[in-house]
Structure 1
Amino acid sequence: MKIILLLSLGVTLFSQGLGNTLDSCQGRCGNWANSAYSCQCNPPCERNRDCCSDYYNLCKGSTSCKGRCGEKYNSQNQCHCNTKCSQYNNCCSDYSQQCGGSTSCKGRCGEKYNSQNQCHCNTKCSQYNNCCSDYSQQCGGSTSCKGRCGEQYNSQNQCHCNTKCSQYNNCCSDYSQQCGGGSGGGEPITDSELKALSELLYSLDSNKASPSELVIDKQARVSDSQTSSKKDLSLKPLFSFLDESSLFSKPTFAAFLALLDNYQRYTGQSEKFSSAQLKEQDTFLQEVISNTEIGRELYTFFHSKGLYSSEAEFIYDLKMMWFGLYSRSNNAKDSSGFEHIFAGEVKKGKVSGFHSWIQFYRLEKNGLMNYYSHSFDGPWTSFPDMLGMQFNWDGYFKQVGSAIIGSSPEFDFALYSLCYIARPGRQCFLSLGGQTLVIQTYTWDNSYYGDGKKFIASGFPATPRALLQHPFLLNPEEEL
C-alpha cells in the first residue's frame, strides 16, 4: 500500500501544472507512452484502450499538422507531417506553418542527410554550407553542443563537443551544460566529487548480498589471450547459492526482476510493451530513486549541481534515457539502455551488452546460461565484487562480459546513471571501499529524446582489457 501511495503521490506532483493536457492529445500525437498522463496518444493506445478522447480527431483524422510535427508515417492519416512528406507530396496544407517545412530546422535537429531536403539540420551542414536559415536558432548551430555531445572530431567545426575538447581547450561554451560536464551554471562535476559520491553510495547499499545470502564459485581463470577460445573450463555453475527468499523479496529486487521478462533478446525485432509493463518501469524507478537512500542521494547531488529542479523531473529523464526505445537493427524500435545493459541482447550471432549478475543468476538457474571462465577478478573481498566472464547464453557466446556481483539493483542503476550523466560516452572513475572502479558508458547518437538528449547505448564496469583495447570504441553495441 505504501508503494502505491508513493507512486500516486509522485505522479500527482509531476502532473501539477499540466492542466487539461493530462487528458488531451494536444501537442502529444505520436509521443511515447507516459504514465504521468491519464490517457495516451500513440497507435498502441488503440490496442490498450487508453487513448485520449480527442486522439482520433487530433492524431488520425486531422488534416492539420498541429501537434503532429515529426510523427511517424501512418497510412491511415489523410496527410502527413514528417520530413519526407515534401518528397512524397502528401504534407498537410499547414505543414510549413506548423512544422517549419523543409526550409526550417524546427523538429529536425540532428536528422540524417536527405538529398530531397532544400536545406539541412545536422552537424555537417555548416561544412557543406547547406544549413537551413534557422539552424543556429533551432539546433544551437556550430557554436553550441546542442544535439552534438560525443560527436567525432571535425576540423570544420568552430568548437567541439567530444571528450577530448577539454584537453585541447576547444570545447563549445555550453559543453558542460549540454553534455553533462557540470551544472547549468557551468560548474564542473569533478573526479573527486564522483569518487566521494560513489563511496557514499557504496556505504549506503544496505540491500547488497551478504556472504550468507550469496556464494559464488569462480573456478577457472584464463588470460586475455584465451578469452576467445569458447571453451567451457568450469564444471559447476557460477552461483553456488543464493537466498532468494531474503534478497528477491526486497522491493527493489522484486521491481527489477519484474522488468527482465519484458524483452526479447534478438535485435531487429520491435519491442512492444503492455500498459502493465509500462507501469513496471515506473514502479522500478520509484523504488530505486524515491524509496532508497542511494536514489535520494543521487538526486540530491544532481539537484545541487542545478541539473534537475525536482525529483519528478529527474525520474522522468531517467525513464527516457534508460527505457526510451531506439533501433539497433532493421529500423525496428528494438533496444534501450536498460535492455542492453541489464537484460542483454543478441546481435549478429553474439551476446551484446548483458552486465547484470541478477539476470545471469536467473538464466543459469533455468539452464539457459553456461559459465565458462573468468578473465578478471576485482580487488574486493566482499560483495559487491566485479568479474569479467566468458559464458554461453543459450547458444550465443560472450567473450568478456563484465558485471558487478552481489550489489543491489539500486546501486548498479545509480552508478551507471551517475556516470552517464556526469561523464557521457567516456570513462568514469569511481571509488568503492578505497578501490578504483571504472565505468565506461556510450551514448546512442542516431536518435534523440527531448531537446536533443541522447539515449544510453551501453555501460559496463571496465576490465583492464577493455581499458586497453576499447578506450574510444565507436560501436559498443557490437560487443560490450
Structure 2
Amino acid sequence: MKFITALVLWVALFTRGHTNSLDSCVGRCGYGTDSDFTCQCNPSCEKYGDCCSDYVQVCKSSSSCKNRCDETYNSQNECHCNSKCSQYNNCCEDYDQVCDVYVAGGGGGSVVSDADIKSISQVLFTLDSNKASASQLILEPQTLIPDSQTSAQTDHAPKPLFRYLDEGTLFSRPTYAALLAVLDNYRRMTGQTEAFTQQQLQEQEHFVRETMSNTEVGRELFAFLYTKGVYSSEEEFLQDLKMMWFGLYSRSNGQLDSSGFEHIFAGEVKGGKVSGFHNWIQFYLLEKRGQLNYYSHSFNGPWTSYPDVLGMQFNWDGYYKQVGSAVIGCSPEFDFALYSLCYITRPGKMCRLSLGGKELRIQTYTWDKTTYGDGKKYIGSAFPATP
C-alpha cells in the first residue's frame, strides 16, 4: 500500500512538472490538431476554442500573417490575414508573401504572386495598341454622387455619357468587330434558355481566337501563363477560355440561361434588376439606341487617358443598375485579357493589377453550382472594384 501511494504521488509530481509542455505552444506553432496535447497551436484553434493560453504570444505577431492565414476577423488586431483584408485595405504587410498566393492550373501549375500579376498587367497595358485615343472617344461623366446615393435611382445626367465615339475607325478593327458579332447573341432575362446557332458558336470561337491569338495582348497573356505552367499549349489555353467564358449554366429555373461572357460583357436582368454588365462598348451601343439612360457615376479612376474606370448608375430599358463598373476605352482584347488573368490566377478573390503605375482591383467570383472538364469552375462574375 505504501508503495502504491508513493507511486501515485510520483506520477502526480511528474505530471505537474510536465504540464507546461502539454499546455504550451513553444515549439508547436503551425502543427495540425494532435489529440495527445491538451490544447492546440494551429490556425483553426481560435475557431474551435481550444488554443493554448500562450498561442497568440508564441505563434502570432500582431503585424505579421505568420500562422494567421484565413483567421477569423478580430477587430482588436492591428492588421488582418483573411480573404477580405484586400477589399478593406487592412492586410498585414506580408499577407501577399505568406497567404495570398494561388497555385494556378491546379497541381501542375506554379505559384502566381501579386507581384507577378501586377507586372504582367502593366505589360498588357503597354501593349494595348487598339485602345481608344482621346480624339476617338469623348465622355461626359457629369454628376459624381456618393455611395450612399447609388440606390436612389435619380437621374443626375441630362446628357448621355458618350458624347462621341469614332465608330468608323474602332469598330472596323478585327477584335471590335468580333466582339460586336457576339454581343447580340443573348437574351438578357435569366430563366430563358440560351440556344445558339452554328454561326453564333463560330462567332464565339472567332472572338476568343481573334483577341487571344491575333493580338500582342493575347499572345503575351498566354506566354505568361505558359511560363507559369498553367497551360501546356496555346490550344489548351484557348479551349479553356472558351469553356470558362462561354459555357452555359443556370442562374434561374434550372435553364441554361447564363455564362460568364453574357453576365459580364452583355449584361443580364435578374430579379427585376440589371445583373453584371461591365463592358463599355455594350453600354455605348445601348445608349446610342436609346435603350439605356445614364444617371450618374459614383467613382472615377485616377487615369487621365484611356483606359479609365467608371462606376456608373443607369437604367436599361426599365431595369436599374446601382453600380455598373467598367474599364472604359480599352480594346476588347485588353478587357478580355484582364478578366481572364484575374479569374485564372485569383478565382473568387480580389485581384490587384497595375495599369500605368496605378493600381486597379478586380473582384472575381466563381460559379460553384456546376463545373466543366476536370471539375473546373465557370466564371460567375468579374468587375472593377470601387477604388
Alignment TM-score > 0.5, same fold = yes
Q: Which amino acid aligns with 1:412?
A: D
Matching residue within 246, 251, 255 for 2:178 = 255
| Separation of aligned partners in 1, 2:272 and 2:103 | 34
TM-score, scaled relative to structure 2:
0.74
Q: Which amino acid aligns with 1:334?
A: D
| Separation of aligned partners in 1, 2:175 and 2:359 | 26
Q: Which residue of 2 aligns with 1:382?
A: 305
Q: Does 1:320 align with 2:240?
A: no
* Unaligned stretches of 5+ residues in structure 1: 1-153, 156-162, 169-174, 465-480
Q: Which residue of 1 aligns with 2:43?
A: none
Q: Which amino acid aligns with 2:335?
A: D
Equivalent residues in 2 for 1:325-340 (5 A)?
325-340=248-263
Q: Does 1:416 align with 2:326?
A: no
Q: Secondary structure at the match of 1:454?
A: strand
Q: Which amino acid aligns with 2:132?
A: A
- 1:298, 1:418 within 8 Å by CA — same for their partners in 2? yes
Matching residue within 173, 177, 190 for 1:267 = 190
Q: Which residue of 2 aligns with 1:445?
A: 368
Equivalent residues in 2 for 1:175-214 (5 A)?
180-181=103-104, 184-185=107-108, 187-214=110-137
Q: Which amino acid aligns with 1:400?
A: V
TM-score, scaled relative to structure 1:
0.60
Change (3 A) 1:459 1:252: same
- 1:176, 1:188 within 8 Å by CA — same for their partners in 2? no
Q: Which amino acid aligns with 1:352?
A: S
Q: Secondary structure at the match of 2:309?
A: strand
Matching residue within 415, 418, 430 for 2:353 = 430
| Separation of aligned partners in 2, 1:426 and 1:251 | 32
Q: Superposition RMSD on alpha carbons, in Å? A: 2.1
Equivalent residues in 2 for 1:450-461 (5 A)?
450-461=373-384
Q: Which residue of 2 aligns with 1:16?
A: none
- 1:385, 1:404 within 8 Å by CA — same for their partners in 2? yes
| Separation of aligned partners in 1, 2:274 and 2:100 | 34
* Unaligned stretches of 5+ residues in structure 2: 1-46, 49-68, 72-80, 83-98
Structure 1 window deviating more from structure 2 (182-191 vs 222-231): it is 182-191
Q: Does 1:361 align with 2:270?
A: no
Q: Secondary structure at the match of 2:206?
A: helix
- 2:103, 2:110 within 8 Å by CA — same for their partners in 1? no
Q: Secondary structure at the match of 1:249?
A: coil
The CA deviation at 1:306 is: 1.0
Q: Which residue of 2 aligns with 1:279?
A: 202
Greater relative contact order, per chain length (Cα 8 Å cut-off, separation 6+): 2
Q: Secondary structure at the match of 1:451?
A: helix
- 2:110, 2:229 within 8 Å by CA — same for their partners in 1? no
Q: Aligned residues: percent identity?
A: 65
Larger Rg: 2
The CA deviation at 1:164 is: 3.6
| Separation of aligned partners in 1, 2:375 and 2:106 | 17
Q: When you count strand as a share of all residues, which structure comes out higher?
A: 2
- 1:344, 1:352 within 8 Å by CA — same for their partners in 2? yes
Q: Does 1:300 align with 2:223?
A: yes
Q: Secondary structure at the match of 1:399?
A: strand
The CA deviation at 1:446 is: 0.2
